[in-house]
Structure 1
Amino acid sequence: MSTDNNPLLQEFHTFHNTAPFSLIKESDYESAFAKAIQIAKKEINSITENTEAPSFENTIEALDSSGETLGRISSIFFNLNSAETNDEIQRIAREVSPQLSEFGNDVTLNLDLFKRVKAVYDQKNDLDLTEEQKTLLDKQYKRFSRNGANLTDDKKVRLREIDSELSKLTLAFGENVLAATNDFEMHLEDDSRLAGLPESAKEAAAETAKAKDKTGYVFTLDYPSYIPFMTYVDDRKLREEMSKAFGKKAYKDDHDNQENVLNIVRLRYERAQLLGYETHAHFVLEERMAKTPETVIQFSQEILEKAKPAAQHDFDELTNFAISISNQSEISESITKLEKWDAAYYSEKLKQRLFSLDDELLKPYFKLENVINGVFEIASRLYGLSFEETQEIEKYHPDVLTYVVKNEDDSLNSIFYADFFPRKGKRNGAWMTSFKGQWHDANGNNVRPHVSNVCNFTKPTATKPSLLTFNEVTTLFHEFGHALHGMLADTKYQSLSGTSVFWDFVELPSQVLENWCYEKEALEIFARHYETNEVIPLEYIEKIKAAANFQEGLQTLRQLSFGMLDMNWHGIDPTGITDVKAHERKTFDQTDLYPDVVSSCMSTSFGHIFQGGYSAGYYSYKWAEVLDADAFEMFKENGIFDRTTAKKFRDHVLSRGGTEDPMLLYTRFRGSEPKIDALLKRAGLIS
């Protein structure tokens, strides 16, 4: 197929060079990838065939700027594969992913290229380099040394085989989870079985049924459907059915991921061993703030020691409460012990009892459009940004919102895409990504990024706008914190820009922004009743703050368990593991207070570590909580909208990307290294 008219290979003559989605056909991708790989190979050859002595400019900078076309196409394609996929896109992904792995290996295993990089690296002390340039040089050298450049030829061949196989396995893992999620639905005709469920959730379920040409109500495993169902439905047997369906995704079903899990961890281990590392976790953590698995384990155990007694107290309190009210209730089944399908239901009732606060009380104050405008206003007050919605930017789906983001001097800061509602071709969860990075081009122009937030919030219904739960509000703020990391990027090199930082540092900008959701001064900006425009009452704000640590022991234990499971897959020799569920239980037996559900297995749908980039890195969420609690203390001390503090955070954290060691960047902002005490105090785990 000719590539002459392929829009993916042309300059984008669009508004701010945004992706021309309407011009791109699915049939364009494979030929575009093939051509872009050819172009990138020529760019590499031009470096290796350069007869001049290797220098920082003709080797390191040239390598960093190579592959721009391939990167642009990959960003568009794989973002759509997550947010707007279909059978054909998934087929193409299976075809091109091994090709991309092979090309990546062609680069990192290119001996002539490595010799040039090493020649520059060996003379780094004699070069007059900026800190950013030193970091780029170090990163480029490690890109080769950590990916097999020093291996013998036979081991290089094996490395290529492993990487190709891993690219296929991780894709298959994700496809299975999506298919298993889409396969399940609970179809109910009987309205009486939905006692306890808010009208808004019933209306959404009725619209889902209508969209599927069914009468009654349809509930799915998508979070906006699943969470309200598990939180409010009185019928315990229905909650059990829904919970078990969620827990067994891709486990002993038509989309079973057990073999994928075992093969992924075995290949990652073999790869690490091939490169001279003890385990995959040792390989990964060399390029993290934590540095070693031992540090992660010690960190996790330190928090576990504080959290487990608090979690046990939370669990006992919830159990006693549930038994007490279930024995007195005519609408819910009497229980003798707490099961996992009871957790959200009775937690919500206990929260209402303790704080007279529930999501249905708060949701009218969190209309999606108001929350979006609120987070924009907070970004304006902190960083001087302004957001203007525009219809001039093409969208990959009608639900997507598009914005031009400007600085205080009216110059372009970035383009922002926001995609908030679930649909069939979109994976669950919430994430930030980009269609284009930030860097300074050869002419010195500051190329601005195209950033995207993708979430799965409750859709508007015929009678109500999209009203968010408070948890969804914090999710929106979290992902927008990542977006700010991308928007405020200001580095010379794209590979060091924005969120291109150590993975246990990348969650700091996202998690720190969540803190504004609990502050009166911030809530009053956007928390207004969708019908009356009344500002959220002060008593509700006080209750939100009071409830912030509700069941924090259980929540901390849950999050720690995920990080510990990750390390127990990736911090050991997994070759002897044959039973995914049995291995998983070794971790969860240390942290689970609820009885095990035999039919459930988390690992087979744990996309963060088996499809996303969090393998040996899930601990980073809790690690970053230490950073964000410590950082927000500074904002609290000086005022949550203090521009001087915000400027320091922008200058030393948000704008610097991965240009220096993250601990140095953080210390410049804060004046000292972070202390775990701020997190433990905020969580109520110590006084």
Structure 2
Amino acid sequence: MNPEITNWTGPLGLPRFDLIADGDFAPAFDACLTKAAAAVEAIASNAAPPDFQNTVAALEMAEEPLNRLCAIFYTLTGVDSNPAREDLQRQIAPRLAAHGSKVSMDPRLFDRVEAVMQDRDELSPEDCRLTELTLRGLRRAGAGLTGAARDRMAAIRERLAVLSTQFAQNMLTDERDFTMAVADDGLAGLPDWLVRSMRAAAKERGLDGQIVTLNRSLIVPFLEYATDRALRETAWRAWAARGDGSGAGGAATDNRPIAAEILALRHERATLLGYADFASYKLEPEMAGNADNVRALLMQVWEPAKARAAADAARFGEMLNADGINGALEPWDWRFYAERRRKAEHDLDEAEVKPYLTLEAMIGAVFDTAHRLFGIEMREFDAPLWSPDTRAWEVTRNGERLAVFLGDFYARPCKRSGAWCSTLQSQHKIGTGQRPIVINVCNFTPPEEKGAPAYLSWDDAHTLFHEFGHALHNILSDVTWPSISGTSVARDFVELPSQLFEHWLEQPEVLDRHARHAETGAALPADLRDRILAAGNADQGFATTEYLESALVDLDFHSGLPPKDPMARQAEILAELGAPAAIPMRHATPHFAHVFSGDGYSAGYYSYMWSEVMDADAFEAFMEKGSAFDPETAQKLEEWILSKGDSLPADELWLKFRERKPGVHALLKGRGLLTDAS
């Protein structure tokens, strides 16, 4: 096995990606799976009486080489996929699932951990919490099952691993393979920065002219500005068709039967464990607790959001008809007329804004905000990574290294869409301890020429702040055990730090300091800044409605019996809600990667809004002190939210920080959805 895969020798403990070849991964998985199985077997068969150290603590590090291998491999399949890696991913998914099932369903391990739990009074609070979570994880994985039920659970987990991998790869294929050439006469209405980005996308693919791809940072502004309605429709339909069998990959990338099978298997998995349905199983350990609590929150927001969307739809329909177009407002029209209204009502042209929102300026804003709140310093350094565009920073405070941070910001054809935060290694204090290596991945449109500034939209800038909020949750982690460090928290708590950090982008003092014109270096004019902020809620009816549609469909899919035809049930749910025809789901079923390309957000897409209730309330804590940079509140945020991981239940951490429960009022206020009567 290539030793670099598990023993990293790069700068500041990074892997030497330049010394790892695709052919190294298969033998590495063979070796690491064998080693992990032996390490776990030694714990399970230990003749010594079970105690915390020889059982729970030992399990924490038993699979460390495998974890490091998976961290590298799955990072690469997300940011730099190729046929060899995709093929190995399909092969290894069921093997990893089989190994996971064997470990987590081992009754000997369950008995040992349960014995440790009986002596919980002798443990420290954090050790007790880890033991409790380990036992819960084993129980929920099926360690208590026997015979045919046990075998069936293992088979389900293996099949789900295969299906989720295929779902993600189908999406990547459809997104990677679609391009729409736009002739010069189709550029009407498009700002110069967007045309340059379209030309850069064409050049990257070896094409002439300009193209639209399914990269969100390219297709969304195209839908906002293109005056050619037919081109908008073609682009939108391609975006909506990802994974439904009519996209670039055709029937080979049809995710609809995959989604149906995933839902059926999840339901069966839950019922094997004694739960009524998958939502009951999934939500049990979350802050929400059950589907009724989730639905109650979502519906509190749905009605005011739908009312705002209906008013906007009527207005945009009038604008459409005034343009001489007879017929209904369509999904490919919404963003175009929303942008036109925003420009008219707020005198705001994104072409005027973008030169102040360069990637470098916004990275500076992110880092400076983190420094002012938490005292961290960022020093960029050179390292051999997977792409020359990927950058590395050492994160320190008072001369002490806290983490290494990697930023991979630009879209590439080989990279899956969206934005995310992950870690190559987590923080822990075992032995000499380990500091985290944290990655932020985005898909911003790169500049047309190397060395030229990359322009971000206001939404892109929010994404940058959002993902660094997740990064801070990992960077500032300060717990003993890796499995409860950083972002390893309840799913409906994990978005609190990320969504909270977005608020600082909207602070005038942050924009005044960092939003500088790419060519002149001039500060963002106060008048333009105020117009940007005033327009922040201009289209919240749309944004909130499309999100809630996805969250409510996800919740319904996993509550009760699974639908045999998810697409038909999706249509029924939207009809029951009275969803506006011109506002489709943010993520329709065939490309709902949050829910179907893994288990993380299944029955959990609501968690963004659950966390938003808290993040709106948390930012109020700063405002109550009169400053977004109040040091006492920042210190309390780090102490009780950002550093604690899952060492205490999420609701306890929240109460330690805020000293009261959050309410939905701050969320509605922040989204501009309160009526005068409210």
TM-score bracket relative to the smaller structure: over 0.9
**Residue aligning to 2:47:** 51
TM-score by length of 1: 0.94
Identity of aligned residues (%): 35
Question: Are 1:399 and 2:389 an aligned pair?
Answer: yes
SS at match of 2:372: helix
Match of 1:629 among 613, 616, 630: 616
Match of 1:30 among 4, 26, 47: 26
C-alpha change, 1:143 and 1:259, in structure 2 (3 Å) is same
Match of 1:217 among 210, 230, 243: 210
Which amino acid in 2 is paired with 1:494? P
Match of 2:352 among 358, 361, 364: 361
Where in structure 2 are the equivalents of 1:206-605 lying within 5 Å?
A: 206-253=199-246, 254=250, 255-324=253-322, 326-327=323-324, 334-391=325-382, 393-407=383-397, 409-442=398-431, 445-462=432-449, 464-574=452-562, 577-589=563-575, 590-595=577-582, 602-605=588-591
C-alpha deviation, 1:500, in angstroms = 0.1
Q: Distance in 1 between matches of 2:320 and 2:346?
A: 16
**Residue aligning to 2:168:** 174
**Gapped regions of structure 1 (runs ≥ 5):** 328-333
> What are the Cα deviations for residues 152-189 of structure 1, in whole angstroms up to 9, with x where unaligned?
2211110111000000000000111111112221123x
> What are the Cα deviations for residues 482-524 of structure 1, in whole angstroms up to 9, with x where unaligned?
0110101111000000000000000000000111111101111
Q: Distance in 2 between matches of 1:361 and 1:155?
A: 62
Which amino acid in 2 is paired with 1:396? W
Which amino acid in 2 is paired with 1:384? G
Q: Distance in 2 between matches of 1:424 and 1:379?
A: 31
C-alpha deviation, 1:554, in angstroms = 2.5
Which amino acid in 2 is paired with 1:76? I
Q: Distance in 2 between matches of 1:632 and 1:154?
A: 51
Where in structure 2 are the equivalents of 1:637-652 lying within 5 Å?
A: 637-638=624-625, 639-652=627-640
Is the 8 Å Cα contact of residues 550 and 587 (structure 2) preserved in structure 1?
no
C-alpha deviation, 1:308, in angstroms = 2.2
C-alpha deviation, 1:591, in angstroms = 4.8
Is the 8 Å Cα contact of residues 581 and 601 (structure 1) preserved in structure 2?
no
**Gapped regions of structure 2 (runs ≥ 5):** none
Which amino acid in 2 is paired with 1:372? I
Which amino acid in 1 is paired with 2:367? F
Is the 8 Å Cα contact of residues 419 and 467 (structure 2) preserved in structure 1?
yes
Q: Distance in 1 between matches of 2:616 and 2:204?
A: 44
Match of 2:595 among 596, 609, 616: 609
Q: Distance in 2 between matches of 1:618 and 1:302?
A: 16
Q: Distance in 1 between matches of 2:316 and 2:391?
A: 41
C-alpha deviation, 1:149, in angstroms = 1.0
Is the 8 Å Cα contact of residues 259 and 590 (structure 2) preserved in structure 1?
yes
Which amino acid in 1 is paired with 2:365? G
C-alpha change, 1:389 and 1:595, in structure 2 (3 Å) is closer
> What are the Cα deviations for residues 49-102 of structure 1, in whole angstroms up to 9, with x where unaligned?
322211112111111222111111101101111111111001111111111111
Where in structure 2 are the equivalents of 1:55-204 lying within 5 Å?
A: 55-124=51-120, 127-188=121-182, 190-204=183-197
**Residue aligning to 1:661:** 649
Q: Distance in 2 between matches of 1:627 and 1:358?
A: 32
Which amino acid in 2 is paired with 1:337? A
C-alpha deviation, 1:431, in angstroms = 0.4
SS at match of 1:557: helix
C-alpha deviation, 1:597, in angstroms = 8.3
Q: Distance in 1 between matches of 2:234 and 2:400?
A: 54
Q: Distance in 1 between matches of 2:509 and 2:549?
A: 34
Q: Distance in 2 between matches of 1:209 and 1:653?
A: 44
> What are the Cα deviations for residues 537-573 of structure 1, in whole angstroms up to 9, with x where unaligned?
1112211221122122222121111100111211221
Question: Are 1:7 and 2:4 an aligned pair?
Answer: yes
Which amino acid in 2 is paired with 1:84? D
Which amino acid in 2 is paired with 1:79? T
**Residue aligning to 1:330:** none
C-alpha deviation, 1:441, in angstroms = 1.6
C-alpha change, 1:213 and 1:41, in structure 2 (3 Å) is closer
C-alpha deviation, 1:596, in angstroms = 8.3
Is the 8 Å Cα contact of residues 518 and 544 (structure 1) preserved in structure 2?
no
C-alpha deviation, 1:672, in angstroms = 0.9
Is the 8 Å Cα contact of residues 472 and 642 (structure 2) preserved in structure 1?
yes
Q: Distance in 1 between matches of 2:506 and 2:157?
A: 44
Q: Distance in 1 between matches of 2:254 and 2:47?
A: 53
> What are the Cα deviations for residues 250-298 of structure 1, in whole angstroms up to 9, with x where unaligned?
1133211111010111011110111111111111101110010111111
SS at match of 1:454: strand
Which amino acid in 2 is paired with 1:426? K
C-alpha change, 1:316 and 1:160, in structure 2 (3 Å) is same
Which amino acid in 1 is paired with 2:339? E
Is the 8 Å Cα contact of residues 561 and 591 (structure 1) preserved in structure 2?
no
> What are the Cα deviations for residues 602-647 of structure 1, in whole angstroms up to 9, with x where unaligned?
2001101001421010000111110000000011122111111101
Is the 8 Å Cα contact of residues 84 and 426 (structure 1) preserved in structure 2?
yes
Which amino acid in 2 is paired with 1:142? R
**Residue aligning to 1:618:** 605
SS at match of 1:440: coil
C-alpha change, 1:597 and 1:228, in structure 2 (3 Å) is closer
C-alpha deviation, 1:464, in angstroms = 4.4
**Residue aligning to 1:331:** none
Q: Which moved more, 1:36-45 or 1:267-276?
A: 36-45
Is the 8 Å Cα contact of residues 321 and 350 (structure 1) preserved in structure 2?
no
Which amino acid in 1 is paired with 2:369? I
SS at match of 2:414: coil
SS at match of 1:467: coil
> What are the Cα deviations for residues 93-135 of structure 1, in whole angstroms up to 9, with x where unaligned?
11111111111111111111111111112332xx232322221
Q: Distance in 1 between matches of 2:179 and 2:326?
A: 26
Two-structure CA RMSD over aligned residues (Å): 1.7
Q: Distance in 1 between matches of 2:368 and 2:639?
A: 20
Is the 8 Å Cα contact of residues 557 and 591 (structure 1) preserved in structure 2?
no
Q: Which moved more, 1:11-20 or 1:55-64?
A: 11-20
